[in-house]
Each structure stands twice: as C-alpha cells, then as structure tokens.
Structure 1
Amino acid sequence: MDDDEFDELVSSLTPYEEAGGVKTYRNTVSIACPACDDPFDDLVVCRDEYNSLELSKILDLCVTTHDDDVLLFTHQQ
C-alpha cells in the first residue's frame, strides 16, 4: 500500500486505541477492505518489529503492509 492510499484510508477511519506499538482504527463508514473488498471492522497497525495481540473475538484477518508496518484488517464472523 503506498503512502497516498494509506493516508486516504486512515483519514476516513475513527481512531480507537493506541498501546505500545499497536494503533487501532474503527471502520464506522463501511470502507471496503483492500485485500478482499468486503467491509472490515477495524484496522490494526503494528509498528514494532514484534507485537502480541490478545483477541477477545474470533476474527478473520486480511493483511498487508505499509512501509515497515503490518496492517491487519479485521472481519468479525
């Protein structure tokens, strides 16, 4: 994902949480996931080399990268 696509995407999302090297955005406007074209629930941006995520729900994930960050698009089942 290039810088323009990332900036446009993030500007359309609602910031939700930030802890350590992980920042979460909510998709409150049903933007399509760039990987599967279905609307996603949250975007999780992992900035550190190693991150640990504690999931409280069963989720499908789509993944891409931007610069050195991993981008996780969550889809609740």
Structure 2
Amino acid sequence: MEDFEQLVSSLTPREENDEIKLYQNTVSVACPVCEEPFDDLVACKKTETSLEQIEPLDICVTVHEGSPLLFTHKH
C-alpha cells in the first residue's frame, strides 16, 4: 500500500499493543480495497496475529511492508 502514512493521518488512533494498532475511521475515508467507507483499520505488527471478533464484520485485507492491514465494515 503506497499511501499508508497519508491514510492513517486521516484516522483516529484508538488502541495499540504489541500485536496491533487500531484506528477508527471518523471521517468516512474510502477503503483502498473496495472503495466503500470502512469503520476501523487494524494494522497488524506481526506476520501472525490472533484477533477476536466481537460482532459480525465484513473485512477487506491488504498488506503494507509485509504486515496485514484489515479494514472492517460493520453490518
């Protein structure tokens, strides 16, 4: 993903730990995968990360510098 820094500069940081960094999309930025507004961006810091899904979500996935980026879309 070429414009990662530009993308995250438009998002609101919500959580960070050793495995992920979570950003909330409060300004309806379009998902780079499906071009629809997304709810959250989960930037994985490791190549292998386990995530717990609390609610049903559609997820678009891409990779930035070898790490997965998950764009969540709530139903």
TM bucket (normalised to shorter chain) is over 0.9
Identity of aligned residues (%): 56
Contact 2:25–2:39 under 8 Å retained in 1: yes
Q: TM-score, normalization: structure 2?
A: 0.96
Q: TM-score, normalization: structure 1?
A: 0.93
Work out the CA distance in 2 between the residues paired with 1:54 and 1:43.
14
Q: Which runs of 5 or more residues in structure 1 are unaligned?
A: none
Number of residue equivalences: 75
**Residue among 13, 25, 46 paired with 1:27:** 25
After TM superposition, the structure 1 = structure 2 runs for residues 11-26 of structure 1, keeping only pairs within 5 Å, are 11-26=9-24
SS state at 1:20 partner: coil
Superposed CA RMSD: 0.7
**Structure 1 consecutive aligned stretches of length 4 or more whose deviation exceeds 2 Å:** none
Q: Which runs of 5 or more residues in structure 2 are unaligned?
A: none
The answer as to 2:63 corresponding to 1:65 is: yes
Q: CA deviation at 1:49?
A: 2.0
